[in-house]
A and B are shown apart, each in its own frame.
Chain A
Amino acid sequence: MKQAVITETDLQAYVDDQLDAAGRLEVADYLVRHPDVAARIVADLRLRDAMRALAETEDRPVPPRLADEARRLDAALGRRRIVAALARALPVGAAVGVAVFAAATWQVASFAPRARAAVPALVEEALMSKRTALMRADMPSQPEAAHFDRQAVHRATRIEVPALPSDWRILDAQVFPSDYGPSLQMVIDTGADEPVSLFAARTSADIPETPQTEVVDGQAVGFWSHDGTAYALSGDQPARQIAEHAEDLASSQDF
Protein backbone atom coordinates (compact mmCIF):
# COMPACT_ATOMS: atom_id res chain seq x y z
CA MET A 1 0.00 0.00 0.00
CA LYS A 2 1.29 3.39 -0.92
CA GLN A 3 1.69 5.69 2.06
CA ALA A 4 0.47 9.25 1.90
CA VAL A 5 3.20 11.82 1.34
CA ILE A 6 3.46 14.02 4.39
CA THR A 7 4.91 17.47 3.85
CA GLU A 8 6.25 20.04 6.28
CA THR A 9 3.05 21.96 5.61
CA ASP A 10 1.02 18.97 6.80
CA LEU A 11 3.08 18.77 9.96
CA GLN A 12 2.64 22.47 10.73
CA ALA A 13 -1.05 22.20 9.99
CA TYR A 14 -1.22 19.26 12.39
CA VAL A 15 0.31 21.34 15.18
CA ASP A 16 -2.03 24.23 14.43
CA ASP A 17 -5.09 22.06 14.18
CA GLN A 18 -5.84 23.12 10.64
CA LEU A 19 -6.53 19.65 9.23
CA ASP A 20 -9.77 17.77 8.92
CA ALA A 21 -10.16 14.42 10.66
CA ALA A 22 -8.86 12.43 7.69
CA GLY A 23 -5.84 14.70 7.39
CA ARG A 24 -5.05 14.44 11.09
CA LEU A 25 -5.26 10.68 10.87
CA GLU A 26 -2.80 10.57 7.98
CA VAL A 27 -0.30 12.69 9.85
CA ALA A 28 -0.80 10.73 13.06
CA ASP A 29 -0.19 7.45 11.17
CA TYR A 30 2.99 8.93 9.80
CA LEU A 31 4.13 10.09 13.22
CA VAL A 32 3.62 6.65 14.69
CA ARG A 33 6.09 5.29 12.18
CA HIS A 34 8.57 8.16 12.59
CA PRO A 35 9.36 8.71 16.26
CA ASP A 36 12.04 11.28 15.50
CA VAL A 37 9.57 13.53 13.69
CA ALA A 38 6.96 12.77 16.33
CA ALA A 39 9.31 14.03 19.05
CA ARG A 40 9.74 17.27 17.15
CA ILE A 41 5.98 17.65 16.74
CA VAL A 42 5.38 17.06 20.42
CA ALA A 43 7.97 19.76 21.16
CA ASP A 44 6.07 22.12 18.84
CA LEU A 45 2.77 21.28 20.49
CA ARG A 46 4.32 21.97 23.86
CA LEU A 47 5.56 25.34 22.66
CA ARG A 48 2.14 26.14 21.27
CA ASP A 49 0.47 25.31 24.58
CA ALA A 50 3.08 27.28 26.50
CA MET A 51 2.45 30.30 24.26
CA ARG A 52 -1.26 30.07 24.98
CA ALA A 53 -0.68 29.76 28.71
CA LEU A 54 1.71 32.69 28.56
CA ALA A 55 -0.83 34.83 26.74
CA GLU A 56 -3.36 34.06 29.46
CA THR A 57 -1.04 34.93 32.31
CA GLU A 58 -0.23 38.22 30.62
CA ASP A 59 -3.86 39.23 30.20
CA ARG A 60 -4.75 42.48 31.90
CA PRO A 61 -8.15 44.09 32.22
CA VAL A 62 -9.04 46.04 29.10
CA PRO A 63 -8.74 49.78 29.90
CA PRO A 64 -12.08 51.62 29.82
CA ARG A 65 -10.88 54.02 27.12
CA LEU A 66 -10.41 51.06 24.77
CA ALA A 67 -13.79 49.60 25.65
CA ASP A 68 -15.38 52.99 24.89
CA GLU A 69 -13.60 53.18 21.58
CA ALA A 70 -14.69 49.62 20.75
CA ARG A 71 -18.32 50.41 21.52
CA ARG A 72 -18.15 53.49 19.32
CA LEU A 73 -16.89 51.31 16.47
CA ASP A 74 -19.57 48.68 17.14
CA ALA A 75 -22.27 51.32 16.94
CA ALA A 76 -20.84 52.69 13.70
CA LEU A 77 -20.71 49.22 12.15
CA GLY A 78 -24.28 48.55 13.28
CA ARG A 79 -25.37 51.79 11.67
CA ARG A 80 -23.80 50.79 8.37
CA ARG A 81 -25.63 47.50 8.43
CA ILE A 82 -28.94 49.13 9.18
CA VAL A 83 -28.59 51.73 6.47
CA ALA A 84 -27.55 49.08 3.94
CA ALA A 85 -30.47 46.90 4.95
CA LEU A 86 -32.92 49.82 4.85
CA ALA A 87 -31.84 50.92 1.42
CA ARG A 88 -32.79 47.52 0.11
CA ALA A 89 -35.77 46.89 2.36
CA LEU A 90 -37.91 49.92 1.76
CA PRO A 91 -40.53 49.76 -1.00
CA VAL A 92 -39.85 51.31 -4.38
CA GLY A 93 -42.31 54.14 -3.75
CA ALA A 94 -40.11 55.40 -0.98
CA ALA A 95 -36.94 55.11 -3.00
CA VAL A 96 -36.28 58.84 -3.13
CA GLY A 97 -36.97 59.18 0.54
CA VAL A 98 -34.63 56.33 1.28
CA ALA A 99 -31.92 57.95 -0.74
CA VAL A 100 -32.27 61.04 1.42
CA PHE A 101 -32.58 58.99 4.58
CA ALA A 102 -29.58 56.91 3.68
CA ALA A 103 -27.57 59.87 2.43
CA ALA A 104 -28.07 61.59 5.74
CA THR A 105 -26.52 58.71 7.60
CA TRP A 106 -23.96 57.83 4.99
CA GLN A 107 -22.67 61.34 5.04
CA VAL A 108 -22.27 61.29 8.73
CA ALA A 109 -20.81 57.82 8.70
CA SER A 110 -18.15 58.96 6.28
CA PHE A 111 -17.63 62.24 8.10
CA ALA A 112 -18.59 64.61 5.34
CA PRO A 113 -17.18 67.90 6.58
CA ARG A 114 -20.06 69.80 5.02
CA ALA A 115 -22.59 67.95 7.14
CA ARG A 116 -20.62 68.57 10.27
CA ALA A 117 -20.15 72.25 9.60
CA ALA A 118 -23.90 72.72 9.20
CA VAL A 119 -24.50 72.11 12.88
CA PRO A 120 -23.79 74.80 15.45
CA ALA A 121 -20.76 73.83 17.43
CA LEU A 122 -22.61 74.29 20.68
CA VAL A 123 -25.28 71.76 19.81
CA GLU A 124 -22.74 69.31 18.60
CA GLU A 125 -20.77 69.65 21.76
CA ALA A 126 -23.84 69.18 23.88
CA LEU A 127 -24.73 66.05 21.95
CA MET A 128 -21.22 64.75 22.24
CA SER A 129 -21.17 65.07 25.97
CA LYS A 130 -24.55 63.38 26.12
CA ARG A 131 -23.17 60.55 24.08
CA THR A 132 -20.25 60.21 26.40
CA ALA A 133 -22.59 60.19 29.36
CA LEU A 134 -24.64 57.47 27.70
CA MET A 135 -21.58 55.41 27.06
CA ARG A 136 -20.69 55.54 30.67
CA ALA A 137 -24.21 54.39 31.41
CA ASP A 138 -23.42 51.12 29.70
CA MET A 139 -23.01 49.27 32.95
CA PRO A 140 -25.30 46.51 34.08
CA SER A 141 -26.18 47.98 37.44
CA GLN A 142 -27.33 51.42 36.34
CA PRO A 143 -30.91 52.24 35.48
CA GLU A 144 -31.35 53.64 32.02
CA ALA A 145 -33.84 56.33 33.02
CA ALA A 146 -31.28 58.30 34.97
CA HIS A 147 -29.09 58.72 31.92
CA PHE A 148 -31.27 58.98 28.90
CA ASP A 149 -33.14 62.26 28.78
CA ARG A 150 -35.65 61.95 25.96
CA GLN A 151 -36.81 65.56 26.40
CA ALA A 152 -33.28 66.80 25.88
CA VAL A 153 -32.90 64.62 22.81
CA HIS A 154 -36.21 65.96 21.51
CA ARG A 155 -35.24 69.57 22.13
CA ALA A 156 -31.93 69.12 20.37
CA THR A 157 -33.06 66.96 17.48
CA ARG A 158 -36.87 67.22 17.23
CA ILE A 159 -36.77 63.43 17.25
CA GLU A 160 -39.35 61.88 19.49
CA VAL A 161 -38.04 58.71 21.07
CA PRO A 162 -40.84 56.16 21.44
CA ALA A 163 -41.65 54.99 24.94
CA LEU A 164 -39.73 51.79 25.52
CA PRO A 165 -41.04 48.79 27.42
CA SER A 166 -39.99 49.03 31.06
CA ASP A 167 -37.59 46.10 30.88
CA TRP A 168 -35.67 47.52 27.91
CA ARG A 169 -32.37 49.16 28.61
CA ILE A 170 -30.52 51.57 26.39
CA LEU A 171 -26.96 50.37 25.88
CA ASP A 172 -25.78 53.11 23.60
CA ALA A 173 -27.30 56.15 21.98
CA GLN A 174 -25.69 58.51 19.54
CA VAL A 175 -26.92 61.57 17.73
CA PHE A 176 -25.49 62.50 14.38
CA PRO A 177 -25.81 65.85 12.74
CA SER A 178 -26.47 66.01 9.02
CA ASP A 179 -27.80 68.37 6.38
CA TYR A 180 -31.19 66.74 6.76
CA GLY A 181 -31.39 67.19 10.46
CA PRO A 182 -29.99 65.09 13.23
CA SER A 183 -30.44 61.37 13.36
CA LEU A 184 -30.42 59.16 16.39
CA GLN A 185 -29.17 55.64 16.77
CA MET A 186 -29.71 53.55 19.85
CA VAL A 187 -28.65 50.07 20.79
CA ILE A 188 -31.18 48.59 23.17
CA ASP A 189 -31.10 45.51 25.34
CA THR A 190 -34.60 44.00 25.23
CA GLY A 191 -33.89 41.79 28.20
CA ALA A 192 -34.79 38.63 26.34
CA ASP A 193 -32.43 38.10 23.46
CA GLU A 194 -29.96 39.90 21.24
CA PRO A 195 -29.98 43.69 21.43
CA VAL A 196 -31.93 45.65 18.84
CA SER A 197 -30.95 48.84 17.05
CA LEU A 198 -33.38 51.69 16.79
CA PHE A 199 -32.59 54.31 14.23
CA ALA A 200 -34.50 57.55 13.84
CA ALA A 201 -34.08 60.51 11.52
CA ARG A 202 -36.07 63.59 10.63
CA THR A 203 -37.08 63.17 7.03
CA SER A 204 -39.80 64.06 4.61
CA ALA A 205 -39.48 60.65 2.99
CA ASP A 206 -42.71 58.90 2.19
CA ILE A 207 -42.47 56.13 4.74
CA PRO A 208 -45.69 54.45 5.93
CA GLU A 209 -47.01 55.20 9.42
CA THR A 210 -47.97 51.59 9.92
CA PRO A 211 -44.87 49.52 10.58
CA GLN A 212 -43.70 47.19 7.86
CA THR A 213 -41.03 44.55 8.23
CA GLU A 214 -38.64 43.28 5.62
CA VAL A 215 -35.90 40.71 5.92
CA VAL A 216 -32.67 41.63 4.24
CA ASP A 217 -29.64 39.36 4.38
CA GLY A 218 -31.17 37.49 7.25
CA GLN A 219 -31.73 40.63 9.25
CA ALA A 220 -35.22 41.86 9.94
CA VAL A 221 -35.86 45.59 9.67
CA GLY A 222 -39.12 47.09 10.86
CA PHE A 223 -39.71 50.65 9.72
CA TRP A 224 -42.38 53.30 10.14
CA SER A 225 -42.79 57.02 10.41
CA HIS A 226 -44.42 59.32 12.88
CA ASP A 227 -44.75 63.07 12.76
CA GLY A 228 -41.95 63.70 10.27
CA THR A 229 -39.54 61.22 11.79
CA ALA A 230 -38.64 57.88 10.22
CA TYR A 231 -37.81 54.98 12.49
CA ALA A 232 -36.11 51.70 11.74
CA LEU A 233 -35.81 48.85 14.19
CA SER A 234 -33.50 46.00 13.38
CA GLY A 235 -31.80 43.05 14.98
CA ASP A 236 -30.90 39.44 14.58
CA GLN A 237 -34.21 38.27 15.99
CA PRO A 238 -36.79 36.51 13.82
CA ALA A 239 -38.78 38.90 11.61
CA ARG A 240 -41.95 38.14 13.58
CA GLN A 241 -40.31 39.36 16.76
CA ILE A 242 -38.98 42.55 15.16
CA ALA A 243 -42.39 43.20 13.63
CA GLU A 244 -43.99 42.85 17.07
CA HIS A 245 -41.48 45.20 18.68
CA ALA A 246 -41.96 47.72 15.87
CA GLU A 247 -45.75 47.55 16.33
CA ASP A 248 -45.40 48.13 20.06
CA LEU A 249 -43.09 51.10 19.67
CA ALA A 250 -45.18 52.68 16.92
CA SER A 251 -48.44 52.28 18.81
CA SER A 252 -46.90 53.81 21.93
CA GLN A 253 -46.50 56.99 19.89
CA ASP A 254 -50.18 57.34 19.09
CA PHE A 255 -50.96 58.67 22.53
Chain B
Amino acid sequence: MTIPPPRIVELLPALMRYARRLARDQSDAEDLVQETLASAYAHIGQYQPGRSLRVWLFTILHNSFISRTRHDAVRERHRTGTAPAAAEASPQEHSVRLREIAEALDRLSPEQRQVLHLVAVDGLSYQEAADAIGIPIGTLISRLSRARARLRAIESGEAGDSRPPVALRIVES
Protein backbone atom coordinates (compact mmCIF):
# COMPACT_ATOMS: atom_id res chain seq x y z
CA MET B 1 0.00 0.00 0.00
CA THR B 2 1.45 3.32 -0.99
CA ILE B 3 1.04 6.39 1.13
CA PRO B 4 -0.99 8.95 -0.79
CA PRO B 5 1.28 11.82 -1.84
CA PRO B 6 0.61 15.18 -0.21
CA ARG B 7 -1.40 17.64 -2.22
CA ILE B 8 0.45 20.64 -3.60
CA VAL B 9 -2.11 22.86 -1.92
CA GLU B 10 -0.92 21.50 1.43
CA LEU B 11 2.71 22.23 0.55
CA LEU B 12 1.99 25.87 -0.31
CA PRO B 13 2.71 27.31 3.14
CA ALA B 14 6.10 25.55 3.22
CA LEU B 15 6.87 26.79 -0.30
CA MET B 16 5.89 30.33 0.70
CA ARG B 17 8.16 30.22 3.72
CA TYR B 18 11.09 28.96 1.74
CA ALA B 19 10.52 31.56 -0.96
CA ARG B 20 10.24 34.30 1.62
CA ARG B 21 13.49 33.26 3.27
CA LEU B 22 15.23 33.34 -0.11
CA ALA B 23 13.60 36.42 -1.62
CA ARG B 24 13.26 38.35 1.65
CA ASP B 25 10.16 40.10 0.41
CA GLN B 26 6.55 38.96 0.51
CA SER B 27 5.54 39.92 -3.01
CA ASP B 28 8.78 38.63 -4.52
CA ALA B 29 8.20 35.40 -2.62
CA GLU B 30 4.69 35.09 -4.05
CA ASP B 31 6.02 35.64 -7.56
CA LEU B 32 8.69 33.04 -6.95
CA VAL B 33 6.15 30.46 -5.82
CA GLN B 34 3.91 31.27 -8.78
CA GLU B 35 6.86 30.77 -11.10
CA THR B 36 7.70 27.51 -9.36
CA LEU B 37 4.19 26.10 -9.78
CA ALA B 38 4.00 27.15 -13.41
CA SER B 39 7.37 25.59 -14.09
CA ALA B 40 6.37 22.38 -12.33
CA TYR B 41 3.23 22.25 -14.46
CA ALA B 42 5.18 22.76 -17.66
CA HIS B 43 7.71 20.09 -16.72
CA ILE B 44 5.37 17.67 -15.07
CA GLY B 45 6.79 14.86 -17.17
CA GLN B 46 10.03 15.18 -15.22
CA TYR B 47 8.42 14.33 -11.93
CA GLN B 48 9.17 10.73 -11.04
CA PRO B 49 6.32 9.13 -9.14
CA GLY B 50 7.54 7.97 -5.76
CA ARG B 51 9.94 10.84 -5.42
CA SER B 52 9.20 13.37 -2.72
CA LEU B 53 6.92 16.05 -4.15
CA ARG B 54 8.23 18.50 -1.61
CA VAL B 55 11.84 17.98 -2.63
CA TRP B 56 10.89 18.20 -6.30
CA LEU B 57 9.13 21.54 -5.79
CA PHE B 58 11.86 22.88 -3.53
CA THR B 59 14.37 22.02 -6.24
CA ILE B 60 12.37 23.93 -8.83
CA LEU B 61 11.94 26.86 -6.47
CA HIS B 62 15.66 26.89 -5.82
CA ASN B 63 16.44 26.89 -9.53
CA SER B 64 13.89 29.63 -10.21
CA PHE B 65 15.44 31.73 -7.50
CA ILE B 66 18.95 31.25 -8.88
CA SER B 67 18.00 32.25 -12.41
CA ARG B 68 15.94 35.15 -11.12
CA THR B 69 18.87 36.37 -9.03
CA ARG B 70 21.07 36.33 -12.12
CA HIS B 71 18.53 38.40 -14.04
CA ASP B 72 18.18 40.81 -11.15
CA ALA B 73 21.94 41.21 -10.94
CA VAL B 74 22.03 42.18 -14.59
CA ARG B 75 19.12 44.56 -14.20
CA GLU B 76 20.62 46.05 -11.07
CA ARG B 77 23.78 46.96 -12.92
CA HIS B 78 21.76 49.12 -15.30
CA ARG B 79 20.03 50.94 -12.51
CA THR B 80 21.49 53.84 -10.64
CA GLY B 81 21.35 54.59 -7.00
CA THR B 82 18.91 51.88 -6.10
CA ALA B 83 19.20 50.64 -2.58
CA PRO B 84 19.34 46.90 -2.22
CA ALA B 85 15.98 45.41 -1.38
CA ALA B 86 15.81 45.31 2.38
CA ALA B 87 13.67 42.87 4.25
CA GLU B 88 10.16 44.26 4.47
CA ALA B 89 9.32 45.49 7.89
CA SER B 90 6.44 44.64 10.06
CA PRO B 91 8.48 45.18 13.18
CA GLN B 92 5.63 45.74 15.56
CA GLU B 93 4.52 42.19 14.96
CA HIS B 94 7.82 40.69 15.92
CA SER B 95 9.22 40.61 19.35
CA VAL B 96 12.57 42.33 19.65
CA ARG B 97 14.20 38.95 19.97
CA LEU B 98 12.77 37.65 16.72
CA ARG B 99 13.66 40.85 14.95
CA GLU B 100 17.24 40.36 16.00
CA ILE B 101 17.17 36.86 14.59
CA ALA B 102 15.66 38.15 11.34
CA GLU B 103 18.40 40.75 11.07
CA ALA B 104 21.08 38.18 11.81
CA LEU B 105 19.65 35.87 9.15
CA ASP B 106 19.73 38.68 6.63
CA ARG B 107 23.46 38.96 7.17
CA LEU B 108 24.09 35.37 6.16
CA SER B 109 24.87 34.49 2.59
CA PRO B 110 21.85 33.29 0.58
CA GLU B 111 23.37 29.80 0.53
CA GLN B 112 23.61 29.73 4.30
CA ARG B 113 20.07 31.02 4.80
CA GLN B 114 18.85 28.43 2.41
CA VAL B 115 20.37 25.36 4.08
CA LEU B 116 19.33 26.57 7.52
CA HIS B 117 15.79 27.09 6.37
CA LEU B 118 15.40 23.75 4.65
CA VAL B 119 16.76 21.79 7.57
CA ALA B 120 15.95 23.79 10.68
CA VAL B 121 12.61 25.33 9.76
CA ASP B 122 11.20 23.02 7.17
CA GLY B 123 12.53 19.84 8.72
CA LEU B 124 13.91 18.20 5.57
CA SER B 125 16.37 15.38 6.12
CA TYR B 126 19.97 16.18 5.21
CA GLN B 127 19.68 14.01 2.13
CA GLU B 128 16.47 15.68 0.98
CA ALA B 129 17.88 19.14 1.54
CA ALA B 130 21.07 18.24 -0.34
CA ASP B 131 18.94 16.91 -3.22
CA ALA B 132 16.80 20.03 -3.27
CA ILE B 133 19.83 22.29 -3.66
CA GLY B 134 21.86 19.91 -5.75
CA ILE B 135 24.93 19.70 -3.51
CA PRO B 136 26.64 16.75 -1.80
CA ILE B 137 25.47 16.02 1.71
CA GLY B 138 28.92 16.77 3.15
CA THR B 139 28.81 20.25 1.65
CA LEU B 140 25.36 20.73 3.12
CA ILE B 141 26.49 19.84 6.62
CA SER B 142 29.55 22.04 6.50
CA ARG B 143 27.42 24.91 5.20
CA LEU B 144 25.01 24.40 8.06
CA SER B 145 27.80 24.34 10.57
CA ARG B 146 29.30 27.55 9.19
CA ALA B 147 25.91 29.26 9.04
CA ARG B 148 25.32 28.50 12.70
CA ALA B 149 28.77 29.58 13.74
CA ARG B 150 28.23 32.85 11.91
CA LEU B 151 24.84 33.38 13.55
CA ARG B 152 26.38 32.79 16.96
CA ALA B 153 29.13 35.23 16.12
CA ILE B 154 26.64 37.88 15.04
CA GLU B 155 24.63 37.30 18.20
CA SER B 156 27.64 37.81 20.42
CA GLY B 157 28.62 40.94 18.56
CA GLU B 158 31.55 39.56 16.61
CA ALA B 159 29.79 40.27 13.39
CA GLY B 160 32.87 41.47 11.59
CA ASP B 161 34.49 38.12 12.06
CA SER B 162 34.86 36.67 8.61
CA ARG B 163 37.30 33.86 9.25
CA PRO B 164 35.78 30.48 8.61
CA PRO B 165 34.31 29.38 11.89
CA VAL B 166 34.44 25.91 13.34
CA ALA B 167 35.28 23.67 10.45
CA LEU B 168 34.37 20.02 10.38
CA ARG B 169 36.88 19.06 12.94
CA ILE B 170 36.47 15.89 14.86
CA VAL B 171 35.77 16.36 18.51
CA GLU B 172 37.43 13.59 20.45
CA SER B 173 36.12 12.71 23.82
Contact = CB atoms under 8 A, between A and B. Distances in A.
A88 interface: no
Interface stretch (A53-61, A124-132, A148-156, A245-253): A53-61
Contacts of B144: 12, 16
A47 to B, nearest CB: 5
A77 interface: yes
The 4 closest A-B pairs by CB, nearest first: A218-B2, A3-B173, A69-B37, A70-B8
A67 B13 CA distance: 10
Interface in A60-84: 60, 62-63, 65-67, 69-74, 76-77, 80-81, 84
A40 interface: yes
Given A52-B121, A73-B37, 9 more contacts: A47-B151, A53-B98, A54-B94, A57-B93, A58-B17, A58-B20, A66-B12, A69-B34, A70-B37
Contacts of A76: 41, 44
Which size class do A's interface residues fall under? 35 or more
Most buried by B among A34, A47, A62, A80: A47
Given A5-B173, A8-B145, A12-B145, A109 B44 contact: yes
Contacts of B21: 55
B49 A60 contact: no
Interface of A: 3-9, 11-13, 15-18, 30, 33-34, 37, 40, 43-44, 47-48, 50-55, 57-60, 62-63, 65-67, 69-74, 76-77, 80-81, 84, 109-111, 194, 217-219, 236
